[in-house]
Structure 1
Amino acid sequence: MNYVSFENRVHSIASRVEQLGGEVGEVTIAEPASSDEVLQMEKRLGISLPKSYKRVLLEYAGEFSFYWSLPDEMERPHEFREIFSGTVQWSLTSLPRLEEERKEWINVVFPDVNDPYDVIWHDKLAFCEVDNGDYLAFDLSDGADDAPVVYLSHDDGDGHGYRLANNFIELIEHASRLGFVGCEDFRWLPFTTSSTSGILADGEAAIRFRRWLELEV
């Protein structure tokens, strides 16, 4: 992954939002995690972290966050009417809390592995909490050394169980080319074509979105 290119996209998005009169939060880019920190976290969680996620933590940043929002009065095309802000975040140290929350949802609300909705919550690793109470998570069900990213909805969201990307690097690469419009499912669903397509950064909707916002990312 080209981290310089990734950061350039972040700054391009921030600059364009500011030109439009929107709000841009402070970009947080922590130091890379150490190998020992990652190893200790894997021991604590009892799993091996997905390969591409671990690579970003070790090579780029152990914690990252970025947020923006458009002006309330700004008119939006109908197909993008739900997109008024964007965010991206990850943090190695937040994993235990997020996993505890995911397991609590399973214990209290989604315990039945024979239920097609419940089972999606199982065999996952939550790594990002969505503002509405949902989660982005790694799907660990096939035991591969890397893992796809899926959406966990706690309230019948249309994106429940959708595969957003084949791995973490693909997720942040594609999301960065769409201004990080997530994380709620209604914001990124326009850029998918099915539950397994992933977020399509070069799809027709993505091209129209970048053209509308005049984003060069």
Structure 2
Amino acid sequence: MRTVKRRSVLIISGAAVLVTVGLSTAVYQQATEHRERSDSQLALTYEADFSDDANLAGAAENLFYGKVTVVKGQKDLGIGIETQYAVEVQRVFKGTVTGVIVVNQQGGRDADGNVVDLPEDDTLLQAGSRYLFATKYHPDRKFHTVIPVHGDQPIPNGEAPAPGIPDANGDGQATMSDRWVAAVQNQNDLSTAPPAPEPTEEPDEDPTPEPSPTAP
């Protein structure tokens, strides 16, 4: 499992999603963004560790195996370079994606060929390779955006035996695909923020002693 280090990234989907990654915990802030205007509405804020499969499945609108068929190019949507890929959907665990779709990944290459704007511990997708994709959909621009780091995991063979993984579909053999079946079955509801803890009153460090009563 890749370790998440401190990095700020932005996912543009049906809403703008701000992910600040630090010490394997992501502070995930969702906003309704109107890119034509300067205003935005914050919808919710909560902490989520996307190395946890149940959190990743809960955050993704679509969770699926796909094969990158071609690199389509790069775009800058105002938050840095994003690379676009054509991805052939092969097996869907969550969502309704089918056929060949466009997937955006934060990061790309500058004019000198250097990788830029890529979150730490993530790598650029490679044409011809298969991945587990966890994405958010941008309905206006008709593309899907990968949740960084944990939302684009290489999957050489999803049906290979996977010792230690529960047999989620009950076919008698646990595979890597069972991992994602179980993730969706057990996904965490990240649609609302967790309740804030009740504040507790702390006593003064040096409380002033009350005067002793005097005899009449």
TM-score of the pair, normalised by structure 2: 0.26
Give the strand-richer structure, 1 or 2.
Answer: 2
The structure that is helix-richer by fraction is 1
Report the structure number with the largest CA radius of gyration. Answer: 2
TM-score using structure 1 length: 0.26
